[in-house]
Amino acid sequence: MKKVITSNNKLDTINLGKSLGSILSIGDVVTLTGDLGAGKTTLVSGVAKSLKIKDTIQSPTFNILKCYFDGKIPLYHIDAYRLEEVNKDIGLEEYIEGNGVAFIEWPIFIKELLNIPHLEIEIKNKGNDKREIILKSNDKHYVEIIRRLK
């Protein structure tokens, strides 16, 4: 199943994150691909809002993993950008298969940890503030989530 949603500005992307956050549950895994500045972290900040997380979401590019425990359910935000060609054996699977929802930017660098069903989101920059957001999954659970998203 595949769905394409157009975002015309930052707020659209945040709102998509909010609706996604409101239907995700513990154990769900979402990968985010797209160029630098596409809007991956922006989408996660919308998810955090709907989970009632108070902290501001910042790109965990330098710390690889950030956990937010103060919301309705734990949110794990992984940015694997810095894990290219280094030892990835740092226990990330405990978050990907953890007690919360996991969002993973640059999943290509931790492919070996993603042999589990997940929702794939790709964000394409269409110039200025316009983005094409593509949601994909073959797994039943995530197909249902895609279906429920507007």
**Rounded to 5 degrees, what are φ and ψ at 79?**
-125, 105
| Residue 54 to residue 43: CA distance in whole angstroms | 16
Span of 38-46, 68-76, 92-100, 112-120 interacting with ligand ATP by CB under 6 A: 38-46
| Residue 17 to residue 149: CA distance in whole angstroms | 10
Residue 41 found at the interface with Mg ion (CB under 5 A): yes
Residue 55 found at the interface with another protein (CB under 8 A): no
40 vs 118, which CB is nearer to ligand ATP? 40
Q: How many residues bind another protein (CB under 8 A)?
A: 21
Question: Residue 113 carries which side chain, given as an amino acid letter?
Answer: L
Q: Which distant-in-sequence residues (6+ apart) come within 8 Å of 114 by Cβ? A: 29, 31, 96, 104, 107
Tell me which of ligand ATP, Mg ion, another protein, none is bound by residue 38, counting a contact when its beta carbon lies within the kind-specific cut-off of 5 to 8 angstroms: ligand ATP
Contact residues toward ligand ATP (CB under 6 A) are: 7, 9-10, 12-13, 34, 36-42, 59, 61, 105, 129, 131
